[in-house]
Structure 1
Amino acid sequence: MEPDVEKVPTGDKADPSVNLSPVDYTPPPKRPLKHRIGAVIWDSLDKTPEERKFIAKIDWWIMSYCCVAYFVKYLDQTNVSNAYVSGMKEDLVMAGNDLNLLTTFWTVGYIVGQVPSQLMLTKVRPSIWLPSLEIAWSLFVIGMAGAKNTSTLCALRFFVGLLEASAYPGIMTLLGNWYTPMELGKRSCIFQASSSAAQMFSGYLQAALYSGMDGRAGLRAWRWLFVFDGKSTPPEALQDGRGIIGIPIAMYGYWAIPDAPTDSKARWLKGEDRDRAIGRMESCGREPMKKLTWKIIREIATSWPVYLFCSIFIAHVLGIRIYSYMNLWLKATHQYTTEEINIIPTAGYGAQIVSTIIYAWTSDAIQSRWEIIIVACLIAMAGNIILSVYPEHNTSAMMAGWMLTFLETGAGGLIITWINEICSHSAEHRAMIIGVVETAAYTFNAWVPLLIYNTGEAPHFSIGYEMAAMFFAIEIVLTLAILYCSKKWPQGRKGEVAGTPGEPDAGM
């Protein structure tokens, strides 16, 4: 769906090096079928050889770092759940809501770090800021392997969350600085899928450690998980020649991250590459980062995107929280071994990767975000309805319900993509709104799960499954509200025509 306004073409519909006014623009002739098919399969296949080469280059450097770094970040973020069902609960005498408390302390740190990190990105180059924080949080994850009690784990989890707060909003902002609307959905969701791969890998890693490393060097298997996720080794292992393997990832980031097209110092970008990158962003009205002022802050605070996107992301984050408790249900059935409890949920993460990629390709193909978000919510709602009925003696039905709850996660990448597109007119708006949206969502994520997903009630939460279904329903309503507002009050400079340079494509 497109606004009934003549628009300057973006992505594959225009020469990215030319910034045309509405008066100058003449609609291009209809492209051959093979070009249209090529654009759906991969958005550079119908472009000129020069632009294909350029997109391949930025894909190689930007996406390789973003996906690997986020994979590692998500390993560090989610390993607690695997450790909990693999001996940590018994060794540290954890009970009641202790697992949720560990998540809450991480979330509080994540909340505190969001907006300051995004502010720092307006002053410090992403190529310096993001890799440096990755090194720092890795050291805290390593420290978790030596924790002797829950209090120590809670303190370390706070600092891990504080430092990891830079990753998701920072990388999403970076992607918005380099990719056009025809390209951004795929890249955002591929990046999002790396978190699913990390959770999938964490289950396999914990299962392997439980069967092969339990007791090695005096460490239980769950402690080895933190050692490996921290990308380091204990002193005993250093004597065998094994060392830190995570620092090279951060070092690669110092080289790979190109900052923004207008001020990039990346050595792998040639002069003509920078000119092309700047032209591509100008052609879709995506302006470079400028100085953050109080005027811009007031504009953000008095515009609708920050409030509606905060609301929809809160509902999204609270809804998808439910699938992280699948391993608690598996353990409560007493039908599975510890290795199986860690491995079975990886099928959900695999389905999550596939569904996220399908959402991305479909969304970019139809150049719309809202329909796909609604479809994802309906799928997850169906899963939560099954779980709320709780057919505990029908293992197949319960398993199907759990698997469906995994399939909404990819909508998160599309929501952030939508922010980048609606706020194309201002890099400062994009960076700050993404930061505020993440902060708001995880502020609620810090305390709401303690009430509705109390792990002391697991695996049959009294209201948890019903509340998760409600959150997805709210997300659908808010998606339609954003669609309406994006048409009624399009963002951009006063007096500009919606969809022209300086005014974003709202992703419709």
Structure 2
Amino acid sequence: MSKQLQGVVESSAYPTSLQQPVKKDWRRFIWDSFDKSPEERHFLLKIDVALLSFGCLGFFVKFLDAANLNNAFVSGMKEDLGMFGNQLNYVTTCYTVGYIVGEIPSNIILTRVRPSIWLPVLEIIWSVLTMCLAACKNTTQLYVLRFFIGLTEAGFYPGLNYMIGSWYRKDEIAKRSGILNASGSIATIFSGALMSSVVHLGGRGGLAGWKWLFIVDGVISLPIAFASFFFLPDLPETNRGWFFKPEEIQLAQRRMVAEGRKLRTPYTVSKVKKILTSWHIWLFSILYATLGGTQGTPIFPLYLKTAKKHGKPRYNLAQINNYPSFTFTTSVVAAVAYAWISDALGGRRWPLMVFGGTVQIVLFSSLAAWNIAEGWKWACYILYGQVLGLSGITNAWANEVCRDDNEERAIVLACMNMMNNVLSAWLPLIVWQQIDAPRYHKGFITAVSTSALFVIVSGLVAVLQKRENRK
């Protein structure tokens, strides 16, 4: 630690809002900075603009790409590239494998390299590779490109959650993680409308309509990547950007000291051993791996695509692209609601996770039965998006539990996302096979089981966290 930073850490000249809690009123439940000092409110506004805004824009584009792949598949890519077997599963697996390979190394690098350099570089490479998807002539090219797209995207989401945990306090972190998570679901909603808008471009420039989706992804992402070089902050102890005044950086450092978040320390054999033998990395990884249930399989679009009425398709292309937006509208509402309610409960995360997991058990059990009322079946497809809203508070929870070790926090967040993708890499090949659509009986039964495990592990983490806090 530098002498300058050590002086900041040891200083007793904390702002009033860090020393003595201001009397809380109902406004803080609307936004957490309303009962803080003016200087802290101004600082939070700036960090929200610098970190949260650019993080949400970048994550929006990443989720847009994932949604566009599914929309492209049902909008001509399947026929153009001859994807009549399980090729969509293989494409998803290639992307997921790249994502898995890149996550932990990227977050380790992020603790040593300035985030304002590392993350924008990854985003530029990702943007170029995404636009190259429009040039694919066969599935082999698609497999290769999706692997490297996953590799370059891997550091973004866990890296942003690590940075959120490096700048925000306990009463602030869930809301920011929830907003970040909601931006991904908003992208999925936007993708359906985007597909409906660009499908008429088919033939222009020699490109089918679905290929324009990937070009639009890159065109949106590149300006965000270049702007991030100038606006995205580093860590409070290393920030050298022009966007913050020296006294604001000192405030950020003092806030993290008051919160108990530890500074960076060298990687040692004992540190690595401690991380790998702690319950943090294993239980949080299991928790996040069992979040969701469908492993990214587009169960609602494929249900709509295969639905028949009098032997003819029941839904047209626009409906197939747009109706699944209701599922992700549920995700957006849930992400915001869960974050705000969790903070209102004094930062307790587990009650909402148990609630959300129980809802999933009911929904997937109904779909496994299959022969249910059509209205309830639609409700199940739409409401299962609520569990995606728990992603934000799960990452916030991990940031809080691992606050005593900066490097553990980075690795645990990366490992959580990695394990989620490990499950997504192979499980769809077994229980979510494209040829089983739309009645994924094995998949829905598996989703019931993983949702039950999610509920159990949530309770176990809460018990172990309480025990650690007592110690």
* TM-score band, normalised by shorter chain: over 0.9
Letter aligned with residue 146 of structure 2? R
Q: Which moved more, 1:289-298 or 1:198-207?
A: 289-298
Q: Call closer, same or farther: CA 1:379–1:15 in 2, change over 3 Å.
A: farther
Q: Matched residues in 2 for 1:446 and 1:354: separation?
A: 28
Q: What residue identity is the alignment partner of 1:354?
A: V
Q: Does 1:130 align with 2:119?
A: yes
Q: Which residue of 1 aligns with 2:85?
A: 96
Task: Work out which of the residue numbers 104, 109, 115 in structure 1 matches 2:98.
Answer: 109
1:223 paired residue number: 211
Give matches, 1:385-396, under 5 Å: 385-391=365-371, 394-396=373-375
Question: Residues 116 and 234 of structure 2 are in contact (CA less than 8 Å); yes or no, is this contact kept in structure 1?
Answer: yes
| Structure 2 residue identity aligned to 1:290 | T
Query: C-alpha distance in 2, partners of 1:187/1:157?
Result: 29
TM-score with structure 1 length normalisation? Answer: 0.86
1:141 maps to what in 2?
Answer: 130
* Distance in structure 2 (CA, Å) of the matches to 1:200 and 1:362: 24
Which ranges of 4 or more aligned residues in structure 1 deviate by more than 4 Å?
14-20
Q: Distance in 1 between matches of 2:263 and 2:444?
A: 43
Q: Return the match for 1:321 from 292, 295, 314.
A: 295
CA distance 1:55–1:320, shift in 2 (3 Å): farther
Task: Please give the alpha-carbon distance, in whole angstroms, between the structure 1 residues aligned to 2:402 and 2:260.
Answer: 9
Q: Aligned partners of 1:36 and 1:378: how far apart in 2?
A: 32
Report the secondary structure of 2:25's partner residue.
helix
Question: Could you list the runs of 5+ residues in structure 1 that have no partner in the other structure?
Answer: 1-13, 232-244, 491-496, 499-508
Which residue number corresponds to residue 248 of structure 2? Answer: 273
Once the 2 structures are TM-superposed, how far is the Cα of residue 391 of structure 1 from its aligned partner? 2.8
User: Hey, what's the Cα distance between the residues in 1 that align with 2:140 and 2:444?
Assistant: 29
Q: 1:86 aligns with which of 75, 95, 119?
A: 75
Q: How does 1:437-456 map to 2 (within 5 A)?
A: 437-456=416-435
**Percentage of identical aligned residues:** 37
Q: Give the corresponding residue for 1:425.
A: 404
The answer for the alignment partner of 1:505 in structure 2 is none
Superposed counterparts of 1:106-505, under 5 Å: 106-210=95-199, 212-231=200-219, 245-317=220-292, 319-321=293-295, 324-333=298-307, 334-366=313-345, 367-391=347-371, 394-490=373-469
Please give the TM-score of this superposition, normalised by the length of structure 2: 0.93
Matched length: 454
CA contact (8 A) 1:391 1:397 kept: no
Unaligned ranges ≥5, structure 2: 1-11, 308-312
Alpha-carbon separation, structure 1, partners of 2:207 and 2:354:
46
1: CA distance, partners of 2:153 / 2:249? 30
Note closer, same or farther for the CA distance 1:451–1:272 as it changes in structure 2 (3 Å cut). Answer: same
Distance in structure 2 (CA, Å) of the matches to 1:351 and 1:15: 45
Q: Is the 8 A contact 1:312 1:478 kept in 2?
A: yes
Range moving further from structure 2, 472-481 or 370-379: 370-379
Does the CA contact (< 8 Å) of 1:322 and 1:465 recur in 2? Answer: no
Distance in 1 (alpha carbons) for counterparts of 2:325 and 2:188? 7
What is the alpha-carbon root mean square deviation over aligned residues? 1.9
Q: Distance in 2 between matches of 1:101 and 1:150?
A: 9
Quote the offset at 1:294 in angstroms.
Answer: 2.1
Q: Say if 1:322 and 1:405, in contact at 8 Å, map to a contact too.
A: no
Question: Deviation of residue 209 (structure 1)?
Answer: 1.5
Return the structure number with greater helix share: 2
Q: Is the 8 A contact 2:17 2:37 kept in 1?
A: no
Deviation (angstroms), 1:77: 2.8
For 2:282, the aligned partner's letter is: Y
Cα deviation, 1:44-81, whole Å, max 9, x if unaligned, reads 01111111111111111111110001101111233211
CA distance in 2, matches of 1:432, 1:294: 15
